[in-house]
Amino acid sequence: MSYIKAETILPKELIEAIQQYVEGKSIYIPSKEKQEWGSRTAAKVYFRERNEKIYETYKTGRSLKELAQSFSLSEKSIQRILRDQRVALKDSVEAV
């Protein structure tokens, strides 16, 4: 993350108002439009497809331990993914 000196972009009055709350510290000012996680990369698609594959593989009879080893995840993570996939499928069926 790069920093911009406040003096170069903000009016003196605004800097003085901010200094009433914080002085000599770095502060984060969020953007107006929050972007959804994964919207800038293919990560969201990758994880969705991976989790669907884990669920489909589980349905063929593979154990949690085998899935954890195959996908390099903990058994706890596999359990969470399976639970989330079941909930997502249930919700999509109910929506129809």
The reported pLDDT for the residue numbered 96 is: 64
Confirm if 84 and 51 have CB atoms less than 8 A apart.
yes
Q: What are the structure tokens assigned to 82, written together?
A: 């399976």
| pLDDT band per the 50, 70, 90 thresholds, residue 93 | confident
50-85 pLDDT, tens digit each: 999 999 999 999 999 999 999 999 999 999 999 999
* 10-44 residue pLDDT tens: 999 999 999 999 988 888 888 888 777 777 788 88
Cα 92 from Cα 26, distance rounded (Å)? 44
CB atoms within 10 A of CB 6: 14
pTM score, two decimals? Answer: 0.60
